[in-house]
Every structure is written in structure tokens, then in C-alpha cells.
Amino acid sequence: MAVPKVCGIETEYGILVRGAENNPVTASALLINAYTGAVEDQVAFDLIAEDPRRDARSPDPLDPYEFDPELEYVPVNAVLTNGARYYVDHAHPEMSTPEVRSPLEAVIWDRAGEEIIRESIDAAQRLVPDGAELLIHKNNSDGKGNSYGCHENYLVDRSLPFGKVISAVMAHFVTRQIFAGSGKVGCEFPGMSSDAVDYQISQRADFFEEEVGLETTVRRPIVNTRDEPHCDASRYRRLHVIAGDANMCEVATFLKVASTAMLLSAVEDNPDLEMPALANPVRAITQVSHDPSLAAAIQAFDGTTIRAIDVQWQLFDIARTWFEQTGGEAVGESDCALALSHWERILTGLEHDPLTVADSVDWIAKHRLISAYAERHQLKPGAAALRAIDLQYHDMRRQKGLASRCGLMTLATDEQVRKAITSPPDTTRAFFRGRCIERFPDEVLAANWDSMVFDLGADPLRRVPMDDPLRGTAELVANVLANSATARELVAALAEPNE
Amino acid sequence: MPDRIQRKMPERQSEETIESEVVESDRPATDDLDDLLDEIDEILEENAEDFVRSYVQKGGE
């Protein structure tokens, strides 16, 4: 049975300082501290218990001497009143949305994250020396072979064998870039020259070297086996997805998440469901990306050749059938209906005239700008101005960002986004986390994904477990929160047999 | 969604109706694009070469 597709998006942003020393770690710390110092006291985040080396394919953690654990060095780590985590990761500011129950909410809180980044830039600009500038980009590569991620997370039934998870999503992760790719001028494929490709569909495709694997910074796998559920591991798995581009277009974000959630649900409900399979996914992800005409023929597992769009039509049919058979409750009925509508519209547009979906697909919106600009100024494909447009499409500064000027279709209202900057979603444990931080910032010692730790003064620290992402919702805890004047009262009330 | 009417070419004289193929363009208007290009001319990094060269990131996840 498909478990509710609780999901979330973590985005590593590009960061650059001009007019002062360019240290991305300290700049990231400054960016976050400027925001949290201005808005709220910073609440710490415990790095406990879970082992990033734990691999979904084996029951035991690996020998610690076999390879280096990827332990984060996290100089700044804030948990916000909307339940999000905002922190420095690998020399990038990273914004992780709170857990949400639906793809549309993922868009809303992802957009809220963008606004928080913009407010952070404004706050940080007041703190940097005169003439210094902080540039933040919601992208995935610097064009010089360095890449950083936009990751998704999906709650999956633990009883579904991991091999089934892999086959549910592999072909989708290779081909969904045709609607979810954010486009890139040039090439970063190892061994190929930068101008070997004029323009490609995906920011990230050049960086994938493995089909399945544990790593995230080198030898990147299309399907990541990280097994850190941050919740009850006997019931749930958290599928951690690194094979996606950061999107500026809300429809692209929405469809990226909704389509993946539906396909996972379809396989959870029917593990014997036959999914499209490719002969060489690692080769295919680059083949697809390097051909914006969408004609690239990739090899299916049965030896036939197929285009990415054909694979996507098959996946669309699988998702639609699942929705018709089940009502789509695991993802949300209205989200499913909306996603299927966009998915069909966009695939149809891609088949006949891609420019008709320039308001829904980042790589096409960007390509439209770049082509037109190149024509106006008679520029060759790899010209600096075009690479600058590529970057500036993702610029988070309001006065400089190009994406917001492209007439991209929106799904979230300004009001929804504004509220989500400070308020958590109602329907996951992020509600409890966010409200506790808002109500009792001085007593929350640490806020983790799966627990809150309170410091009530003289007493020992109190840890409130949050093992189930679907508990700690407004429905379950709004009353007890409202009736607790202090953290002490809250902890006492939660300890009682009936919550 | 654009309305599409397929053009059928009669191979022989027949009473098949010839309908013209009409593809409503959903593309954003060219005027908007020109305005957008003007805007880009204004706000694009002045020294594109320096900017692109200086844009270096550390690898992340």
C-alpha cells in the first residue's frame, strides 16, 4: 500500500562574493546569520544517531575504514519557524523545506525558501563592507566542472524492496529532464571540451557517473542509496534523490515532485508493475541532455531505441492508470489531477512546438532568451554574454534575476508564499517543530527532523520523539500547543497517555 | 490548449472535406520578447567575460 508521499526539497545555492574576499563558507554563514539574527534566535540541530554511510542495499553499516564518511561540517545550522532547515553545507547555503504532504505544498515552501534567501541577501548586504556584493544563484553548476545539488525526498513504504524502488524511478530520473531540466550553455562532461555542446537540457546530467550508489559529491549515482530515514525505519524509507536540477519555474518543480511521487506510489501499490527500463542509464542521461531537439535515441533494456519523450509518455500512462485505479490519495487527489494535466500538456507541447511550453519548462524559457539574445547581437553559441545569461537566469537578486522576467506560470499565490516564510505546513510533523520554535525559542535546545529537545532549566533535557512524519500535525497538536503557556506545560501534556 | 484540425489531402476526387490546419500559437508574443531583450541588455552583467570567468563554486552534493 502506498504510504502518504510526505516529501521535501533541499537546495544548495551557489554563492559568490565580489568586492571582498570570496570565502563561500564564511559568506554562507554570514548570509544565514544575517537572516536569523534579524528574525529569530537560532535553534541548533543535533547531528545524532544516524549514519550517512548506511546504504539501502545492505543491512549493516559499512566498515568505517572502508571509505571516508561524508560527515557534514556545519558551522551554521538554523531551524526556522516554518519548520525548514537553513544551514551551510559543503560551502553552500542550503535551504531544506519542511516536510510537506503534497507536491503543491513543496512548491509553496520551496518558493518561501527563495524569499528567505532574498531577505537574507538584503540583510547580509547591510553587513558587508562598502562595495562588496553577495551573489546567490539557484542553480547546480559553475560551468567549470563543479556541481551542487537540488535534492528531493519522498516517504516510501519500507516493505517495498529497494530493487523495486530503483526500477520505479531510474528511467524517470534519466528522462524527466525534458520537462524538469534547467538548461545549460556548454558542456562539463569529463573529457569533453566546454564548447562540445552549444546548449543542453540539464544542469546536472554531465555529473552522473553511476546508476546506483551511496556517494553524493563524487561518482554521483542516478539513484542514491542513502538510508537515513529520520523517522521510524521499520515502517518507512526516505528516498533521497540527487538527480534533478534546481528549478525557477513552479510548474517544473511541481511536476518533478508530483510525477516522481505518483510513480513511487504506483509501484508501492503494485510491486510487480512493469516499468520502462533502459540499457545504460548513465549514458542515456547525458545523451538526452545534449540534444535539445529531443530526438536523441537511447537504448531500452530490450535492445530497441526510444526517445526520452516516449519514455515519459509511458510513465505518464502508468501514473494516470494508477490515479484512475486508486484516486491518488497517497499524493493527493487534486495534486494528481493537476500534475497529470500539466504533464500531458507539456509532453504534447514538447512533441509539436517546445516554445509553446516556454512558460512551464526552465530549459526552454532559458533557451528562448539565449537564442533571441544571440540573434540580436550576432553572438556565437558559447559567447560570454550567453553564459552570463545562463547564470543570471538563476540570480536570486530581485533586480538582476532573469527567470522572474520570463512570464513563467505560477501555481502558488503570493499569499501562500508569504505565509509559508514563517508558518509551517499543517499536515506533517513540521507543524509541531515550527510552532515550538515560534512559541518557545528559548527552551528549544535542538530541533531535529525526528525529535525536539527542550531545556526546561533545572530539569534534565527533555527529548520529544517525532518518529512519524504524519504525526505532530495541526490536527493532533494544535490544541495542546495552544493550551500550553510554557514549554514545561507542553512537555508534561505530551507525556500524558492521551495526547 | 491550441485547437488543431488535421489537414486531410484527398488522393482522389472524393467528398472528403479539406480542412486547413490551424495551429494557434501559444508562444509568447515577439513584442514581449523584444522588451525582455531590452531589459536583459540593461541588467546583464556589464563585463560578461570577467563575471563568467570569476563564477567558481565548490563542489557540493
Predicted pLDDT of residue A176: 98
Question: Rg of chain B over CA atoms, in angstroms?
Answer: 24
Provide the Cα torsion A285, A289, A290, A291; round to 10°.
110
Among chain B residues, CA nearest to A91: B58
Chain B residues touching A225 at Cβ < 8 A: none
| Helices A103-125 & A250-269 angle (0-180, nearest 10) | 140
CB contact under 8 A, A392 and B60: no
Going edge to edge, which strands form the sheet with A462-465? Answer: A444-447, A451-454, A462-465
CB A52 within 8 A of CB A90: no
Binning pLDDT at 50, 70 and 90, where does residue A438 land? very high
User: What is the DSSP track for B25-60?
Assistant: --SPPHHHHHHHHHHHHHHS-SSHHHHHHH------
Residue A98 CA to residue A424 CA, distance in Å, equals 7
pTM (2 decimals)?
0.90
For an interface test with A, give the residue of B23, B38, B55 to mutate (most A CBs within 10 A): B55
Average pLDDT over residues A207-234: 97
Choose among B23, B28, B43: nearest Cβ to A399. Answer: B43
Is the per-residue pLDDT at A273 higher than 90? yes
**Cell 533502459 belongs to which residue?**
A278
Residue ranges of A 447-466 with Cβ closer than 8 A to chain B: none
Q: State how beta strands A92-96 and A85-89 pair.
A: antiparallel
Show the cell assigned to A257. 515532485
pLDDT, mean over chain B: 70
Show the cell assigned to B15. 467528398
Binning pLDDT at 50, 70 and 90, where does residue B17 land? very low
Is the per-residue pLDDT at A483 higher than 60? yes
Predicted pLDDT of residue A1: 86
Average pLDDT over residues A211-230: 96
Average pLDDT over residues A393-404: 97
**Cell 503534497 belongs to which residue?**
A102
Higher local confidence (pLDDT), A59 or A382: A382
Q: How far is B15 from chain A (nearest CA, A)?
A: 29
Q: Is A380 on the interface with B (CB under 8 A)?
A: no
CB contact under 8 A, A356 and B61: no
Residues of A labelled catalytic: 89
Going from the C-alpha of A113 to that of each of A7, A93, A450, B29, the distances in angstroms are: 15, 11, 21, 31
H or E element, residue A220: strand A220-224
Binning pLDDT at 50, 70 and 90, where does residue B22 land? very low
CB contact under 8 A, B48 and A385: yes
Show the cell assigned to A126. 547591510
Average pLDDT over residues A201-210: 98
Average pLDDT over residues A406-411: 97
The contacts of residue A190 (CB under 8 Å, 6+ apart) are A145, A206
Q: How far is A405 from chain B (nearest CA, A)?
A: 7
Residue A457 CA to residue A480 CA, distance in Å, equals 21
The contacts of residue A457 (CB under 8 Å, 6+ apart) are none
For an interface test with B, give the residue of A228, A359, A376 to mutate (most B CBs within 10 A): A376
Higher local confidence (pLDDT), B28 or A125: A125
Residue A260 CA to residue A276 CA, distance in Å, equals 14
Domains and CATH numbers, chain A: 7-416 (3.30.590), 429-495 (no CATH)
Show the cell assigned to A419. 505565509
CB A279 within 8 A of CB A301: yes
Average pLDDT over residues A422-432: 98
Q: Is A132 on the interface with B (CB under 8 A)?
A: no
Chain CA centroid to CA A327, Å: 26
Q: How far is A133 from chain B (nearest CA, A)?
A: 13
Average pLDDT over residues A28-45: 73
The amino acid that residue A63 corresponds to is D
Q: B10-44: buried (b, 16+ CB within 10 Å) or exposed (e) per residue?
A: eeeeeeeeeeeeeeeeebbeeeebeebbeebeebb
Among chain A residues, CA nearest to B45: A388
Predicted pLDDT of residue A48: 39
Show the cell assigned to A358. 516556454
pLDDT digits (tens, 9 = 90+) for A355-373: 999 999 999 999 999 999 9
Q: Is A402 on the interface with B (CB under 8 A)?
A: yes
With an 8 Å Cβ cutoff, the interface of chain B facing chain A consists of 1-2, 23, 25-28, 32-33, 36-37, 39-40, 43-45, 48-49, 51-52, 54-61
CB A334 within 8 A of CB A411: no
**Cell 571540451 belongs to which residue?**
A193
Binning pLDDT at 50, 70 and 90, where does residue B31 land? confident
Choose among A16, A217, A391: nearest Cβ to B61. Answer: A217
CB A296 within 8 A of CB A308: yes
Tell me A236's DSSP state.
E
Is the per-residue pLDDT at A67 higher than 90? no
Q: How far is A45 from chain B (nearest CA, A)?
A: 19
Among chain B residues, CA nearest to A404: B36
Residue A254 CA to residue A339 CA, distance in Å, equals 7
Q: How far is A447 from chain B (nearest CA, A)?
A: 23
Is the per-residue pLDDT at B7 higher than 80? no
Predicted pLDDT of residue A72: 41
